[in-house]
Structure 1
């Protein structure tokens, strides 16, 4: 009983994550949400997306999160800023119970801070489950594999200088200020009743530095 009483309330635990995020959605060209901050509709009028997070260093309270990966499924019916999102999380099955709980709190928005907007915008959290989540870098290519549920691969889009990626910088996007424009060479989801194929569609790469409960 004393352990329960001593356990800090969700939303008060200090946490931090540094690493990389990739995202692939159903937009036919680069996602308008990055520069419009959700005030412009996705190119198809609604958003369906998968994302992967590689945690290079991280913690939730005293619990270590470094080296773990997370997969996400997102569904937004219209303008991002209007909410009514649906979301689900796939937590690295290498996470112990404490790390699993911490990651669920972070990616559901309950832990507040950078991801706290999930708590405001997600009206239906479809669930969280343990899964083998693999996030691999091979040269410029990033791959996310969540068993057979998410199979994703994204590559940066090159600009006039073929040695340089196209990067949208100094944004106020919640994920991070600098977003690398990318495209998906594979983007397949078979989870929670969703069957999506977004090969060749919009993708993003972002270096993340998230924390909570304050910003």
Structure 2
């Protein structure tokens, strides 16, 4: 039986869409398919009695052609777990992010994920306001900056499913590369990014 879990911290994603990604409005991505890297730094987190604070995770997502969140659109994913996690922490992160413990990841897995695999790697996750820099081993390199509007305030996007408030900041990647295998290799630098604080739970 899955444990209750809560996560809070920093989140950033970078994808192949021009600013801003249309999946939020149920429109197809710019290239017809989605190539995205998502990364979380967990400032505070628990899965039952297992403390997840200070750990990091990332998801690489490739979709088939179509609207990302439309029923029947297939995703293939790679979950990368912080190599600093011990066995219990790694198992907990896999349960959460692969959807076995419910919440938003459970809904996504049930509706979309056709194939998933797991890897471990060292993480470097840095944030300075709305500037983010993430390195995941030799697999992921992401640098993003928040993008402001005519009033110089960094924009917001809503509804975004990966935080309880459903609101994140708009941004743009200055670097967004992935090199995992033939399927998960791309350079989508200078395109869309969403970023900010996140808070999620399964209860």
What TM-score comes out, normalization by structure 2 length?
A: 0.92
Structure 2 contact 130–195 (Cα < 8 Å) conserved: no
Structure 1 contact 83–123 (Cα < 8 Å) conserved: no
**How many angstroms does 1:139 deviate by?**
4.4
Counterpart for residue 40 of structure 1:
27
**How many angstroms does 1:138 deviate by?**
3.1
Counterpart for residue 167 of structure 1:
156
Once residues 176 and 157 of structure 2 are traced to their aligned partners in structure 1, the CA distance between those partners, rounded to angstroms, is: 22
**How many angstroms does 1:95 deviate by?**
0.7
Q: Does 1:68 align with 2:58?
A: no
Q: Does 1:114 align with 2:86?
A: no
Pick from 66, 77, 88: which aligns with 1:98? 88
- In 2 relative to 1, CA 205–139 (structure 1 residues): closer, same or farther, beyond 3 Å? closer
Q: Does 1:158 align with 2:148?
A: yes
Pick from 71, 74, 79: which aligns with 1:89? 79
Larger radius of gyration: 1
Secondary structure, aligned partner of 1:56: strand
Q: How does 1:1-215 map to 2 (within 5 A)?
A: 9=1, 12-34=2-24, 36=25, 39-77=26-64, 78-80=66-68, 81=70, 82-120=72-110, 121-125=112-116, 127-162=117-152, 164-169=153-158, 171=159, 173-176=160-163, 177-193=166-182, 194-212=184-202, 214=203
After superposition, the C-alpha distances for 1:82-117 in whole angstroms (9 at most, x for unaligned) are 331000111111111100000011111111112112
Once residues 106 and 113 of structure 1 are traced to their aligned partners in structure 2, the CA distance between those partners, rounded to angstroms, is: 8
Query: Which runs of no fewer than 5 residues in structure 1 stay unpaired?
Result: 1-8
Give the count of matched residue pairs: 196
**How many angstroms does 1:148 deviate by?**
1.1
**Runs of 4+ residues deviating >4 angstroms:** none
What TM-score comes out, normalization by structure 1 length?
A: 0.87
